[in-house]
Chains A and B, each alone.
Chain A
């Protein structure tokens, strides 16, 4: 039954109590039940109420996505779960730090492409840059792809941070 239906990518937001083990519970649930995680981002978002927000990007059939949401919802320290993809339009951003090494024409070309992608150089030496870039995963992939021909050294990336559009919060 789980194979039935088209597989789609969903971005799921989870507001949890910021207590020890909560991330392990969420990750354990995904691995234990065989769900995919494409990316996962987590950080404390409310110091006073001790809450964190987890953004998970996952893929599955509609039935599996519904299960993921229900399974997350029954974890005790979970406050709210929302399927942003299902609930309407939303804004989603990944962040990448991209280190590129090069001189001369190669260096100029890297800067030119960075400008086109609205990436910022946050560290520069005579022969290297670190670019900071935010955007969709696809945009980041494209940038990294272009840089690989221009002296790419290494990449650090976050998963998605996402919010639904409009005035309402989770």
Chain B
């Protein structure tokens, strides 16, 4: 085995002093470096190409390893961990299928800007390119779905690569980073040196916004008549301080606030200035206020097509301010008038300072007309639904869940579909880091492993996966992980026997031809839970709903609830395909077919 010289690219004063230290294997360097970086848990699955790393895991006790049942679940668990703690989630998988199974979670983390480190095993260096057993071009496959990736070609650079990967994953706009490590690089020995922070040679995101742009933005807001703050997941990524500053700024200025799906919890849902979520299934008041505003402050939000609706009819006539740490988010979908590149915390702090020093004061009196208009929109009561004594309405189930978990600081994850939108509408988050959902990629199967990740980070908190019966089956095998570690995760399955959101679109756009969207041959979820030694409950009668939810909450251990809900209820309000924000449908509106093929092509 050749011993490579320490990486000469990054000068380090400690090298000389420690030159006589013992050499350790690449696998051990990985564990040492992770521990040094404060990693306390790895979500993973072993295999041939990571055997040396698993052997080192066996021999140490600083880092806990959570054995999942499928590599995709490891990535979502890491996302749940990252989203609930603000720290990067760490994943370890083997080469080939281990790495390809991780691709969905990497892409999910890429689209939702979740910091994640995914270490993948690779075949030995001399076998790369030979179609060796369990070989896949992991850096090639993951290049477009990671923020950055590395193939570690020599053990001597391992520690530096891992440190750099953590820096890249968690700074600027966060994202997933893959480190592909050939098996022989894990075995080879090199000196290990403890080193502090790595400053990357090229990657240095701008944190502080341009002063002139900030002043211009504050002035536009101060002189506006119909302002709105549109805050997204960037606030959550920036940290709890950004949320606190957002609340302070909104209260000081008296402006209404709406959150994106990823931003829920960034502003307290119970606050009177909160208009609810915006976008396709957002509230009537949020979308109309966005459409009619004269100055919009977008912060940590990226004008996603699910938010904007028809782009040429999106908030016409407003002056748009966008605060984002990623330059490529500016002017991507929507032309922005005042861009501010920077971190939400830093920029919001400056907004507040300037607002105060310029003596703008509270806007409440002058915004009175605007608030009166907003109240008229609120009077629509857009989330209202027709309750029933016969069947559990999905909205009712979530209203009751929300009521019964009050004060519990619960962390909620979701799968993807109707239940996800209802959860976003009805669960009302007052704090950041308590809402875990797959927003950008829309990954069915996200919720159960994400809840596992959050439960590992917060063993004493109530962690609930609000699921659909179709989505949860995409990673249902993780009941095994829940059972193994006796994690008190609650799976609250909203079972309507349909892939509800797809069926809703078929009903709205395809004349009700419900092609392949019936959840046929469903398992008996209670029996399935029982097979894993997990408590299962079924509830069908609205009269039993509260007792079932309470039973789930009170049980000291994992629970699977099969909540049988109304089968064909649709999720409203809805901005139909190809429509503008002010063309929303409410529950009970007559639904017409999409206007044309172009509208039909909007996913």
Interface set of A (CB-CB < 8 Å, partner B): 1, 17, 20-21, 24-25, 28-29, 32, 63, 66-67, 70-71, 73-79
A79 cross-chain contacts in B, Cβ below 8 A = 201-202
Which of B149, B200, B201, B326 contacts A74, CB < 8 Å? B326
Which of B143, B172, B333 contacts A1, CB < 8 Å? B333
Indicate if the CB atoms of A28 and B327 lie closer than 8 Å: no
Indicate if the CB atoms of B139 and A76 lie closer than 8 Å: no
Indicate if the CB atoms of B328 and A24 lie closer than 8 Å: no
Q: How far is the CB of B64 from the nearest CB of chain A, in Å?
A: 30
A71-B328, A74-B328, A76-B203 as given contacts; A1 in contact with B334, CB under 8 Å: yes
Q: How far is the CB of B312 from the nearest CB of chain A, in Å?
A: 7
CA–CA, A25 to B139, complex, Å? 10
Indicate if the CB atoms of A28 and B201 lie closer than 8 Å: no
Cβ-based interface call for B588 (8 A): no
Cβ-based interface call for B302 (8 A): no
Cβ-based interface call for B213 (8 A): no
Q: How far is the CB of A13 from the nearest CB of chain B, in Å?
A: 15
CA–CA, A44 to B194, complex, Å? 33
Q: How far is the CB of A166 from the nearest CB of chain B, in Å?
A: 25
Number of B interface residues at 8 Å Cβ cutoff, please give it: 26
CA–CA, A24 to B172, complex, Å? 23
Q: How far is the CB of B423 from the nearest CB of chain A, in Å?
A: 31
CA–CA, A78 to B168, complex, Å? 13
Given A24-B143, A74-B326: 14 more A-B contacts, CB < 8 Å:
A20-B151, A21-B139, A21-B151, A63-B331, A63-B335, A66-B331, A70-B327, A73-B327, A74-B172, A75-B148, A76-B168, A76-B203, A77-B202, A78-B202
Which of B148, B151, B328 contacts A70, CB < 8 Å? B328
Residue of B nearest to A70 (CB): B328
CA–CA, A24 to B335, complex, Å? 30
23 contacts between A and B (CB under 8 A): A1-B312, A1-B333, A21-B139, A21-B149, A28-B143, A29-B144, A32-B144, A63-B335, A67-B328, A67-B331, A67-B332, A70-B327, A71-B328, A73-B327, A74-B326, A74-B328, A75-B148, A76-B147, A76-B168, A76-B200, A76-B202, A76-B203, A78-B202
Cβ-based interface call for B407 (8 A): no
CA–CA, A67 to B302, complex, Å? 13
Cβ-based interface call for B106 (8 A): no
Indicate if the CB atoms of B335 and A1 lie closer than 8 Å: yes
Shortest beta-carbon contacts, A-B, top 8: A70-B328, A76-B148, A70-B327, A76-B203, A71-B328, A79-B202, A32-B144, A1-B311
B421 cross-chain contacts in A, Cβ below 8 A = none
